[in-house]
């Protein structure tokens, strides 16, 4: 029932202007792209495609996936307006079979933190299967607090760190001053 409510929340948000969709790529992504050679990238929960455009403008071959159909439509429209030919898939990252091969960068801004624990473990396995050797996982999410809202826990960070080498973690605040974290992992 909670997953249906969560999906409905996102569905409604994309029929308006979601507060998280600023149409500006975050400086953490720009900084990463500035100092890395381009490769193949996947944006999980790509929303309206802002970061896909940024990736492509930095020379990356990028793909995106989102489970809200309206977000995918908007992303495809933005890409078409920029005359970029990138694949944007409608579907659930955890169950999608469309994602093939290895990615040099997997970007997740706001998906992992919203998953229940059992789905986080499936997510971690899927990332491991899709991330190229020496590939990066750049992730932003909200930290778990005392509220009933989901978030990234210390245990999650430790489990991710057993699969990948953490290059950096930077805590901050996101929407509504909620504690958040940026993390960069590398598959060795």
Q: What is the pLDDT of residue 174?
A: 79
pTM above 0.85, yes or no: yes
pLDDT per 10-residue tile (average), the chain, 188 residues: 53 56 90 97 96 97 95 95 96 94 97 92 96 98 82 95 97 86 97
Q: Is 26:43 a contact under the CB 8 Å cutoff?
A: no
- Strand-pairing partners, residue 69, are none
CB burial readout 27-65, b (16+ within 10 A) else e: ebbeebbeeeeebbbbbbbbbbbbbbbbbbebebebbbb
Is residue 88 packed enough to be buried (19+ CB in 10 Å), middle (13-18) or exposed (0-12)? buried
- Structural domains in the chain, CATH included, are 2-186 (3.40.50.150)
Q: How far apart are CA 153 and CA 167, in angstroms?
A: 18
């Amino acid at each position: 029932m909670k997953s249906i409510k969560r999906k409905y929340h996102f569905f409604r948000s994309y029929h308006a202007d979601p507060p998280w969709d600023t149409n500006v790529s975050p400086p953490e992504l720009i900084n990463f792209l500035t100092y890395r050679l381009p490769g193949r990238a996947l944006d999980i929960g790509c929303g309206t495609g802002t970061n896909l455009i940024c990736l492509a403008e930095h020379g990356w071959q990028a793909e995106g996936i989102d489970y809200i159909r309206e977000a995918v439509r908007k992303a495809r429209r933005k890409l078409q307006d920029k005359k970029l030919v990138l694949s944007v898939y409608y579907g659930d990252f955890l169950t999608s079979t469309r994602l093939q091969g290895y990615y040099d960068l997997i970007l997740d801004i706001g998906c992992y933190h919203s998953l229940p624990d059992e789905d986080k473990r499936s997510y971690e396995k899927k990332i491991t299967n899709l991330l190229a050797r020496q590939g990066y996982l750049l992730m932003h999410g909200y930290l778990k607090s005392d509220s009933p809202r989901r978030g990234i826990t210390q245990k999650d960070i430790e489990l991710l760190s057993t699969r990948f080498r953490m290059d950096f973690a930077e805590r901050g605040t996101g929407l509504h001053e909620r504690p958040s974290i940026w993390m960069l992992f590398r598959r060795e």
